[in-house]
Amino acid sequence: MSTNLFAKIPSVDSLLKRPGIQQLIDHYSRGFVLRQLDQFLAELRSKIKQGLMDSSELESATSMIEDHLTLVLQQRLAPSLLKVINATGVIVFTNAGRAPMAPDLAERVSEVATSYTNLEYDLKKGSRGHRDQHLEDRIKRLLDCEAATVCNNAAAAVFLILNTLSAGKKALVSRGELVEIGGSFRIPEIMVKSGAVLREVGTTNKTKAEDYEKSIEDDTALILRVHQSNYRIVGFTHRPSLEELVTIADKNAIPLVHDIGSGYLFRTQHPCLQDEPTVEASLAAGSHLICFSGDKLLGGPQAGVIIGKKDIVDRIRKNPLMRACRVDKMTYAALDWTLLQYEKGTFEKTLPVWQLLSTPAESIRNRALEIKKRISSRVLEVSIREGVSLTGGGSAPEEEIPTWLLAITSTRHSPNQLEDSLRSYEIPILSRIEEDQVLLDLRTVFPDQDEIVIEALTQFSTTA
Ligand SMILES: *Cc1c(COP(=O)(O)O)cnc(C)c1O
């Protein structure tokens, strides 16, 4: 019986003659279509072998093979990395790719990506240049520092700094700053991998200036100050000011390295960022070296920026591992465009992260009301309520930004089902569930995406 079925499987040659298959080959390529065809036939053989297919099922499967292949090919070709709508209200949302970029930035990136560039070519001298030339002058002007270099991300920056300055030597860190930033970035682990010898100072809640002073030995290479980023120690606490640490570092002729995290360059009026340290203030306090992320509050591409004293930055540049952590021309273009917005003084208007942060709650409320009005559904209950958005990305963890939320329930779907089908929409929509309601925070939804949210919610009135 099953032997007969095997004989009924059409040959590859005969299938290749079918016009529908030929069309697919013309559209894609012979090799690509053949691979999927072979796989399809192997599946048929396996199903027959397991007794999962009878003669009529086999017939209908082979008659619909063109449709099946078209679908499979489309699935194979779909990218895994997708554009999504972030309705969680977390602005620098690491799992959603952190800082979104402005269309103008994308254009700038596209310009250098599709052409040869002077990435490492000094056009004045007509000889080899250095890729940092494209950023250093702007950063120096902007922040009034001596030197700057860029690597893959801030984790790499910390690693490179420690490896260059402190391999085999002690690096002092307060016990209150031995943090995990998330995504398995743990300061103590990075230190071990870099070859630096971790010398813990003080206690979790209290570290005094004297604790650092007492801990300095002949083989102490640096003091590392780490921004606690995603958590706060409150209550009976103390840590020395940056200025105090700089004084101790200077007295002992070692650098004070500040891992500042978010790349918040200058103080702004934002109430939620009043406690967030700025790069400008860290430089003013005398930090010898500062590193930060490109794609958190800075609002640019993934990158790790290292700035500070020229002799130290030069040493880091010469570290052979720098070559392993360097970034490509697209990152230079994106970072430079981002920094240009700061130099022009327009960053709060032109960088998406800052646009989202600055959107007044009132305008979010108006958009939410408009969406609510447009969703008329027998199954959905849509209401509007006050809520809070978060900066995310390890900045200002306690600060809440006032916002308005769309709160949605359904008479036919559980909150999990609602959340799931929004997430499975053509353009996936990320939301959250609280108290059995699906919540959408439009603070992190770009206004031109409101229509998509409306379409996605409308599906519940038609398919229910
Ligand atoms: C986020 C953060 C890092 C890691 O930055 P990435 O760019 O994600 O590698 C390091 N240190 C601090 C203090 C941070 O907040």
Same domain, 108 and 7: no
Same domain, 112 and 196: yes
Who has greater pLDDT, 399 or 268?
268
Residue 184 banded pLDDT, cuts 50, 70, 90 = confident
Span 221-240, average pLDDT: 87
Same domain, 282 and 149: yes
Structure tokens at 262: 């978010």
Span 422-446, average pLDDT: 97
**Ligand 1 pocket by C-beta < 6 Å: which residues?**
153-155, 158, 181, 185, 226-227, 229, 259, 261-262, 293, 304, 394
Same domain, 194 and 290: yes
Percent of the chain with pLDDT strictly greater than 90: 88
Query: For a pocket test of ligand 1, which of 293, 297, 305, 391 has the largest count of ligand atoms closer than 8 A to its C-beta?
Result: 293
- Give the distance (Å) from ligand 1 centre to CA of residue 155: 6
Structure tokens at 127: 């000889």
Residue 447 has pLDDT above 70, yes or no: yes
Give the closest residue (by CA) to ligand 1 atom 11. Answer: 261
Percent of the chain with pLDDT strictly greater than 70: 98
Give the position of tokens 């499979």: 72
Is the pTM for the entire model greater than 0.75? yes
Residue 12 has pLDDT above 70, yes or no: yes
Contact between 420 and 75 under an 8 Å Cβ cutoff? The reply is no
Among 347, 379, 398, where does a domain finish?
347
- Across the chain, mean pLDDT equals 94
Same domain, 378 and 317: no
Give the closest residue (by CA) to ligand 1 atom 6. Answer: 154
Residue 213 has pLDDT above 60, yes or no: yes
CATH number, residue 409: 3.90.1150.180
Query: For a pocket test of ligand 1, which of 98, 177, 190, 259 has the largest count of ligand atoms closer than 8 A to its C-beta?
Result: 259
Residue 464 has pLDDT above 50, yes or no: no
Same domain, 298 and 366: no
CATH number, residue 274: 3.40.640.10
- Give the distance (Å) from ligand 1 centre to CA of residue 304: 8
Boundaries of domain holding 312 = 101-347
- Give the distance (Å) from ligand 1 centre to CA of residue 262: 7
pLDDT digits (tens, 9 = 90+) for 270-327: 999 998 999 999 999 999 999 999 999 999 999 999 999 999 999 999 999 999 999 9
Residue 186 banded pLDDT, cuts 50, 70, 90 = confident
* Helix (H/G/I), strand (E/B), else coil: 306: strand
Among 42, 76, 110, where does a domain finish?
76
* Helix (H/G/I), strand (E/B), else coil: 296: coil
Same domain, 409 and 333: no
Give the list of residues 6+ apart from residue 30 with CB closer than 8 angstroms, or none: none
pLDDT in the model for residue 240: 95
Residue 2 has pLDDT above 80, yes or no: no
Extended beta strands in 241-331, E state: 256-261, 289-293, 304-308
How far apart are the C-alpha atoms of 464 and 455, rounded to whole Å? Answer: 14
Q: Which residues of 221-258 are buried (b: 16+ CB within 10 A; e: fewer)?
A: bbbbbbbbbbeeeeeeeebbebebbbbbbeeeebbbbb
Residue 89 banded pLDDT, cuts 50, 70, 90 = very high
Which atom of ligand 1 is nearest the CA belonging to 179?
A: 13
pLDDT digits (tens, 9 = 90+) for 152-168: 999 999 999 999 999 99
Same domain, 432 and 378: yes
Structure tokens at 305: 């920026």
Same domain, 406 and 436: yes
pLDDT in the model for residue 460: 84
Strands 220-226 and 256-261: parallel
Q: What is the DSSP letter of 11?
A: P
- Number of folded domains that form the chain: 3
Span 233-237, average pLDDT: 83
Give the list of residues 6+ apart from residue 312 with CB closer than 8 angstroms, or none: 147, 165, 255, 288, 289
Same domain, 196 and 290: yes
Give the closest residue (by CA) to ligand 1 atom 13. Answer: 261
Extended beta strands in 71-139, E state: 85-86, 90-92, 121-122, 127-128
Give the position of tokens 């008479």: 411
Span 17-37, average pLDDT: 94
For the chain, how many residues are written? 464
What spatial distance separates the first Cα and last Cα of the chain, rounded to whole Å? 45
Which atom of ligand 1 is nearest the CA belonging to 230?
A: 15
Same domain, 133 and 222: yes
Residue 364 banded pLDDT, cuts 50, 70, 90 = very high
Same domain, 197 and 279: yes
Among 290, 320, 347, where does a domain finish?
347
**What distances in angstroms separate CA 51 from CA 46, 48, 55, 64, one per listed residue?**
9, 5, 11, 20
- Give the distance (Å) from ligand 1 centre to CA of residue 422: 30
Who has greater pLDDT, 409 or 395?
409
**What distances in angstroms separate CA 278 from CA 140, 143, 236, 310, 418, one per listed residue?**
16, 11, 25, 20, 40
